[in-house]
Structure 1
């Protein structure tokens, strides 16, 4: 798949094939990527250079990235879904934790225990490095725990919300959805 991306006023074309090979502006890149502890945080090795990257505030058509401590806004020019969403999705069958990608202050909590959420629903907003970071449900399911409240300070990697899968027996839990 090909994606056109604008970052800081510069356009890039990214191609990702079915084997995970990546090209940037038709130039092949040697990329190795490891997700850190299930967080939207990645350790990247691009052409033998190491980068720590956090994907945050992702929504249709754009996402915020922090690469080597520097924030960037990436806009996807010809697709509504970014290539990062394929990595950001939670594939596990069990409970999914929403973790703080960076230390910060809880600005908003958008869910409560027992609430049904869909993958991608906003569950909280953090303020970190003068940016608001929207944290989203990594899977559809039921919110089983909310460990934060507005105004709370959180550490990087702290568990904020836990979402468990919907029961397979046809039960839906609380049908309320935000």
Structure 2
């Protein structure tokens, strides 16, 4: 999350915006870029897409996942809303154990989406993020600082 990062030329950015941009250089293995198509965040969709293009240029080697937030406000509503909601609720009712393959919720553009307000798509998104980060985690001893966990050795 980069609060305060606005769609404007680099020379017009303030210190907080420049700190947010500098922080992007130290990102881990996955970036979630949240898009609010409803524009209820106060930033027009076009400006959000301009920021996305800039982030893509700044992080060409980093896995970037574009996620539509506020899925409860999307028109048309995501097609699998009921199925995803039911699958997540069943998993929570069973104690939220393990890492099942819960279906992701997708918007009309084919982007993963979620609704924090309605708590739909949140669990499946979290599980998907964990899988992606684990898959990208380095296991080469030459890349890991001393004392870091390695999959090829017991702790």
TM-score by length of 1: 0.29
Indicate the structure with greater strand content: 1
Structure having greater relative contact order (Cα 8 Å, sep ≥ 6):
2
Indicate the structure with greater helix content: 2
User: Could you say which structure has the larger radius of gyration?
Assistant: 2
